[in-house]
Amino acid sequence: MAKKILIVDDNKDILDIVHETLSYENFEVLATSENHGIIEKVTGFNPDLIIIDYRLGNINGGEICQQIKQLPGFENLPVIIFSAYVNKPEDLFDYGCNAVIDKPFDLTELIDKVNNLVN
Give the pLDDT mean for 15-40: 95
Q: Is 32 helix (H, G, I), strand (E, B) or coil?
A: strand
Residue 103 — pLDDT band, cuts 50, 70, 90?
confident
Q: State residue 90's pLDDT score.
A: 78
Strand segments (E) across 9-118: 28-32, 49-53, 55-56, 59-60, 79-83, 99-102
Q: In which domain, by residue range, is 72 found?
A: 4-118
Total domains, the chain: 1
Task: Write down the pTM of the prediction.
Answer: 0.94
What does the pLDDT read at residue 84? 83
* 58: CATH: 3.40.50.2300
The average pLDDT across 92-113 equals 94
pLDDT band at 59 (very low <50, low <70, confident <90, very high): confident
Give percent above pLDDT 90 in the chain: 81
